[in-house]
Amino acid sequence: MLTRFLEDNARTHPSEIALVEINPSFEPESRITWREYSLMQPIPGQPFRREMTWRGFDLKANRFANLLMTRGCRKGQKVAILLMNSLEWLPIYFGILKAGAVAVPLNYRYTAEEIRYCLEKSDASMLAFGPEFVGRMEEIVGQIPKVKHLFYIGEDCPTFADSFDHMIRYCSSHAPEVELCEDDIGAIYFSSGTTGFPKAILHAHRALTHAALTEQNHHGQTHEDVFLCIPPLYHTGAKMHWFGSLVSCSRAVLLKGTKPEWIMNAISQEKCTIVWLLVPWAQDLLDAIDRGDVNLDKLQTRQLRLMHIGAQPVPPSLVGRWLQKFPTHQYDTNYGLSESIGPGCVHLGVENVHKVGAIGKAGYGWETRIVDEEGRDVAPGDVGELIVRGPGVMLCYYNDKAATDEVLKDGWLYTGDMAMEDEDGFIFLVDRKKDVIITGGENLYPVQIENFIRKHEAVKDVAVIGLPHPRLGEIAAAIVEVKPEYSLSEEELNAFCAALPRYKRPREIIFADVPRNPTGKIEKPKLRRMYCVDNLVARQIAR
């Protein structure tokens, strides 16, 4: 059980630091704290920093579990979390698990209506939320009848909620007597919601445990490692990578912010050995080094042994740039879905850097296949849909049998990702099945075009989408975000793309920002809604 790792760490290394929170843009009015932190004050000119021992972590989880149980929470009930990354997040998550309840993390970017939808969809009966969400909660508090208890974690508790800080001090710090097994339901995670309202993904404790074992197996965390965790904890990616620290009883640093100088300062000052980045963050960091905004000579980075990336296709050119700047680093690519309990069902492996561009092979305890529309294996080199099977596959989309039946077949999870396998057995992502562009009968895979355009030195980011065309059906349009210090014209980019086969060249080039969600994925449905408009279609017809 996942909770046993925490209890073992608290017993064997009680006084060692488990978690560190660093907030370079500290704002006192938005601070959320456990009671013992309420008197802490920031040091002028330095990031606000807090830390928590393994024993403190476990005791806080026990207290929240007991608080839930005093409010009538029973095994299998759903408890939602709506918090920014902080020292409070993980103890609350583990408190829910220890109470035998089902943890339901919510995206902190959700609108009030999306929060209401997810609470209703998951059958949540309780919610813990922070000060950043008071306004959104006020909009819906009268529309969530299933939610019987609202726990407010912060100062100045609103009248419609109960003060977490006030109640928690009276709760026992002893572990509750709740019997758990790996087959019990453990968590509901919501999909990214890039195709509409998100789906509720139901996982058993077995999947959570396997995610932890997979992460530690892939990246070999030891007691001496320090993991820098930047992405939001509500998502499977960040938390499941942190699970490697949980298994190895090693320290983790929660950094609130993604500025390149903040990331590098945290690595240097906290002696971080592992960092997981999203593609935009890694790119921004490399650009900052090139501009001289980050001076590596003034930082302590020699202890950093591993940088890994996931959540989206990784341009090989980006990895090449990173290894030029950090030639002694190991590198890994992670692939996964929330439906497969996050990263790990496929990974490259640090020993396979010569295969950068591939997502790798089946991960620890996982199986993979690439199949055609009839579910038959395709030949190496041919494109098909990637499907995976293993202990981390979801139980179902909660209360959505039709959607479940579309993606779960004979124990295999159909990922919706188009892929191919090379002669060495390495899997390469081609694109999302729903993002494939069919132009004049030819299949275009946007990721391939994006990877080519990213090679231009002036391009910061790019997204290729299909737009309607009266004769060809669809054409490829490239939304291109240019680096601030560069200029780039449509004519220059068209000349650069002349090296592509004619049918793969973008027919439309739009210079604009490329929107990404908190996990780094390009929001292509949003781009399609933005640019599939009459005046743009008229321009396409004219061409």
Tokens read off for 195? 């195709």
Instruction: State the pLDDT at residue 542.
Output: 39
Could you report the per-residue pLDDT of 126-151, keeping only the tens digit for each? 999 999 999 999 999 999 999 999 99
Whole-angstrom distance, CA of residue 532 vs CA of residue 527: 8
Tokens read off for 83? 């918090």
* Res. 41 pLDDT band, cuts 50 70 90: low
Task: Give pTM, 2 decimals.
Answer: 0.81
Residue ending a domain, among 216, 248, 277, is 216
Residue 265: inside a domain? no
Residue 457: inside a domain? yes
Average pLDDT rounded to a whole number, residues 456-460: 91
* DSSP state letter for 143: G
Q: Are 389 and 366 in contact (CB under 8 A)?
A: yes
Q: Are 81 and 89 in contact (CB under 8 A)?
A: yes
**pLDDT for residue 249 is more than 90:** yes
Instruction: State the pLDDT at residue 534.
Output: 42
DSSP per-residue codes, 449-501:
HHHHHTTSTTEEEEEEEEEEETTTEEEEEEEEEEPTT----HHHHHHHGGGS-
* Res. 528 pLDDT band, cuts 50 70 90: confident
Residue 354: inside a domain? no
**pLDDT for residue 522 is more than 90:** no
Whole-angstrom distance, CA of residue 192 vs CA of residue 114: 12
**pLDDT for residue 250 is more than 90:** yes
Instruction: State the pLDDT at residue 135.
Output: 93
Average pLDDT rounded to a whole number, residues 250-263: 94
Half-sphere exposure of 413 (CA within 13 A, CB side): 25
* Res. 518 pLDDT band, cuts 50 70 90: low
> Looking at 4-8, 53-57, 102-106, 434-438, which range is the least confident one?
434-438
Query: In the chain, pLDDT over 90 holds for what percent of residues?
Result: 62
- The tokens 């593609």 sit on which residue? 279
Average pLDDT rounded to a whole number, residues 341-356: 90
**pLDDT for residue 532 is more than 80:** no
Q: Are 360 and 347 in contact (CB under 8 A)?
A: yes
Instruction: Tell me whether residue 177 is exposed, middle or buried, using C-beta atoms within 10 angstroms of its C-beta: 0 to 12, 13 to 18, 19 or more.
Output: exposed
Higher pLDDT pick, 54 / 192: 54
Query: Residue 63: which of 165, 147, 162, 150 has the closest Cα?
Result: 165
Instruction: State the pLDDT at residue 281.
Output: 86
CATH number of the domain where residue 514 is located: 3.30.300.30
Higher pLDDT pick, 504 / 184: 184
Query: In the chain, pLDDT over 70 holds for what percent of residues?
Result: 90
Instruction: State the CB neighbour count (10 A cutoff) for residue 495.
Output: 10
End-to-end CA distance of the chain: 61
Residue 63: inside a domain? yes
Whole-angstrom distance, CA of residue 224 vs CA of residue 302: 15
Instruction: State the pLDDT at residue 537.
Output: 44
Residue ending a domain, among 201, 216, 231, is 216
* Res. 471 pLDDT band, cuts 50 70 90: low
Phi, psi of 402 (to 5 degrees): -60, -45
Residue 247: inside a domain? no
Domain limits for position 526 = 436-542
Average pLDDT rounded to a whole number, residues 257-262: 91
Average pLDDT rounded to a whole number, residues 356-373: 93
Whole-angstrom distance, CA of residue 82 vs CA of residue 62: 19
CATH number of the domain where residue 98 is located: 3.40.50.12780
User: 19 pairs with which residues across the strands?
Assistant: 52, 252
Residue 325: inside a domain? no
CA dist 42 to 28, 45, 132, 269, Å? 9, 9, 20, 17
Residue ending a domain, among 164, 190, 216, is 216
Residue 189: left if φ>0, alpha if ψ -120 to 50, beta else—which one? Answer: beta
**pLDDT for residue 194 is more than 50:** no
Query: Residue 413: which of 195, 188, 201 has the closest Cα?
Result: 201
Residue 104: inside a domain? yes
**pLDDT for residue 501 is more than 90:** no
Average pLDDT along the chain: 88
- The tokens 């806080």 sit on which residue? 60
Average pLDDT rounded to a whole number, residues 432-440: 73
Q: Give how many domains the chain has, as a whole number.
A: 2
**CA angle, 461 then 347 then 316, to 5°:** 35
Residue 455: inside a domain? yes
Burial 245-254 (b: 16+ CB within 10 A, else e): bbbbbbbbbb
